[in-house]
Structure 1
């Protein structure tokens, strides 16, 4: 049984079997928990650690299953976020990923067609990779598309957040996955579904 979760703050260290990660700042928060920018002590590399609340522990098992499936892909080639490891510490489950820059939502108003084309091409590569391992992301939106490094490599992006992803074999007609404002392109490209207003049929 997991230990009771303790409050985590900037400066605290998260201990995994391979190293410890010092929290430098919190860079994101959602219903699932928080995302912290951390420094890995075995390499001094900066990483993003997704820290899950206890009530989302079953969800993280599903996400881990998908992450293990896509780990066979070259993450850089297919424009997918690199996953490093998972561990539990002080009642929290933690997923460690490469640290990326801002998400596309922050830049959407400043994009023009010359920017959209290379981004779309990279997302097509991501979808090709996921199709090859029979995985649906199901939550593609500007928040889940991140710039790798906007200063050094403008408009180089990666697809993140596999918390709602699932094997194609597990998909069932009628499942609700997203708000009505978004449609998941990977399902459309796999020719598996016809969309209603906000339900897959």
Structure 2
């Protein structure tokens, strides 16, 4: 049974077997827990630590399995977030990733074709890498694509959040995945699906960047269809 989680605040340190991570600020929160910007004391490097609540421990085991699979890929070459380590501390499970800048949802501006083209190319390379290791991301949307450095004119991006990713072999007809508005037709209709649903997510994301808004309704799957 997991230990009772203690409240974490800015200034607290998370201890892993290799180092400790001091929480500088919380930069994201969801049903799973929080994401904290931390400083690693063994290197002074800034990292992002995903802190999971105990009720989501099974989810993190599934995510870890996917992360171990994609670790065979060169994360920088395939434009995937770099995963460093995982550990448990004070009743929390923590996943440590490289710190990126801002996700495409919060870029808060439409982009022209010349800016979107390199992002599209990088996402195609990311999908190529996932296909090589037979993984489906299952949740490609602007929130899950982050710019490495918003001030860099090259628009370098990386794909993040493998919390609902799965092996292609485990794709089950009828599974409800992907956010409404970025959900592929075969998921909406309960049909067999494959890694092609990630390509649909990429296409909807690129349209979002051009339109500065969603291509399809995001409140209702019926209206989307």
Contact 1:12-1:22 at 8 Å conserved across structures: yes
Tell me, which stretches of 5 or more residues in structure 1 are unaligned?
192-196
**Structure with more strand by fraction:** 1
Match of 2:46 in 1: 46
Counterparts of 1:1-201 in structure 2 under 5 Å? 1-107=1-107, 109-152=109-152, 154-183=154-183, 186-188=195-197
Contact 2:14-2:89 at 8 Å conserved across structures: yes
State the aligned residue count. 194
Provide, for residues 158-194 of structure 1, a one-character-per-residue CA deviation record: whole Å limited to 9, x for no partner. 0000001000000011111023311369424789xxx
> What is the alpha-carbon distance in structure 1 between the residues aligned to residue 56 and residue 80 of structure 2?
23
Q: CA deviation at 1:2?
A: 1.8
Cα distance change of structure 1 residues 99 and 153 upon mapping to structure 2, 3 Å threshold? farther
In the superposition, the TM-score normalised over structure 1's length comes to: 0.91
Question: How large is the RMSD of aligned CA atoms in angstroms?
Answer: 2.0
Contact 1:138-1:187 at 8 Å conserved across structures: no
Match of 2:215 in 1: none
Cα distance change of structure 1 residues 100 and 69 upon mapping to structure 2, 3 Å threshold? same
Q: CA deviation at 1:111?
A: 1.1
Tell me, which stretches of 5 or more residues in structure 2 are unaligned?
185-193, 201-219
Contact 2:12-2:23 at 8 Å conserved across structures: yes
Cα distance change of structure 1 residues 142 and 190 upon mapping to structure 2, 3 Å threshold? closer
User: Equivalent residue of 1:114, what SS?
Assistant: helix
**Structure with more helix by fraction:** 2
